[in-house]
Amino acid sequence: MFIPGSLKFLSLVLSWFKTVTPRLKVLVRALQAEKKHSQLAKKGDESDVVDPIKYNSGFGYVDEEEDIRVAKYYFKRFNDTNFKIRPIEDYILYEHSISELSKIIQSGDVEKVVNFGVCWGYIDDLLAESFPEVDFIGIDRSPAVKKFNDGLFHKPNLSFLACDIMDYLDGETSLETTLFWHQRIGALLPQDFVEILYAELCRKKVKYIVGFEPHGISMALDDYFMMCPNNHKESVHFRSGMYSHNYMGILNDSGYRLSRCGYLKTAHKDSDYSILTYRAEK
C-alpha cells in the first residue's frame, strides 16, 4: 500500500543519492589516482602494481611510469660510487648546469628559477641551498615524479609542480624576473612545441632562457646540424626519437638574443655526442 508521505521521503532520498553519487565517484577516483601516484613514487624498479597516466601529447616519454623510472634511474646512477669515479654524462653535465645557472642568478636580477621537465630535482636542490632568497620551481607533468622529489628534497624555497608546462604558463601573468631553463627535453619535443613555448615565454616576459640539449651527428643529415640566426631552418631527426632544433633562430624570432652558446663534451659513450649549452636574454 502506498503512503504519500513515505513516497515523498523515498523520492527525497533518491534525489539526494542522484546529487551525491557523482561527487562521491569523483572523490573516489581522485583518491585512487593519488594512491597510484604514491605507489609509483615508492615502488622499486620492477614493473609491478598500478596503472600509470598515459599522456596524449605523445612527446617524450609515453606515460608516467616511464617518467618515474627515468627519475629513479638518474638518482641511482648519480649515487652509485662507481659512477662518480667513472664520470659519464650526468656528473659533468650537472656541474656545468649548476655553474652556468649560478652565474646568472649571481647577477642579482633573478627572483624565480623554473626548471621545465625537472625529472630528478638534484640540481634545483643544490641551487636552492646556494640561493635561499630565490624561488625554485621544478615542473614535471608526472605526479609520481613530484611525489618522488617531495620525498627527497625539503628546502623552503624549492617546490615541485605536477602539471603540463603550458598550463603552468597559462596561470602566470608576468615572469619578468624569471630564469627559465630546460635540460635534455627540448630534443624530445617537436619544432612547433619549442616555437610555441618560447613565444609564450616572451609574452610572459621571462628574462632568461637557458638550455642544455643533446647535440651530435644527426642520423638524417649524416653530419652535424648547424644553427643559424633566422628561423627558416627546419629541425632534423637527431637520433632515437630526438630532434636537433635551430634554437638560435627560434629564440631570435621569439624576441630573445642569444648571449652565450657552446658545446660541452661529456663522457657519453658516443664520441660525436655533446651538450649544446646556450643562454638567451630578452
Ligand X SMILES: C[S@@+](CC[C@H](N)C(=O)[O-])C[C@H]1O[C@@H](n2cnc3c(N)ncnc32)[C@H](O)[C@@H]1O
Binding site for ligand X (CB under 6 A): 59-61, 67, 70, 74, 117-119, 139-142, 145, 164-165, 183-185
Q: How far is the CB of 15 from ligand X (least distance, A)?
A: 42
Q: Which is nearer to ligand X, 40 or 145 (CB)?
A: 145
d(CA 161, CA 137): 7
- Does residue 185 contact residue 60 with C-beta atoms inside 8 Å? yes
Q: How far is the CB of 49 from ligand X (least distance, A)?
A: 19
Q: Which is nearer to ligand X, 127 or 139 (CB)?
A: 139
Q: How far is the CB of 202 from ligand X (least distance, A)?
A: 18
Q: How far is the CB of 275 from ligand X (least distance, A)?
A: 10
Residue nearest to ligand X (CB): 117
Q: Which is nearer to ligand X, 139 or 210 (CB)?
A: 139
Q: Which is nearer to ligand X, 142 or 274 (CB)?
A: 142
Supply 246's cell numbers: 635551430
Q: How far is the CB of 59 from ligand X (least distance, A)?
A: 6
Residue for cell digits 627535453?
A: 185
- Does residue 158 contact residue 186 with C-beta atoms inside 8 Å? no
Checking 214-222 for CB contacts under 8 A at 24+ apart, the result is 214/184, 214/187, 214/238, 214/242, 214/273, 214/275, 214/276, 215/244, 215/263, 215/273, 215/274, 215/275, 215/276, 216/270, 216/272, 216/273, 216/274, 217/272, 218/244
Q: How far is the CB of 4 from ligand X (least distance, A)?
A: 58
Q: Which is nearer to ligand X, 164 or 200 (CB)?
A: 164
Q: Which is nearer to ligand X, 104 or 185 (CB)?
A: 185
Q: Angle formed by the axes of helices 64-78 and 4-42, to 10°? A: 30
Residue 187 carries which DSSP code? G
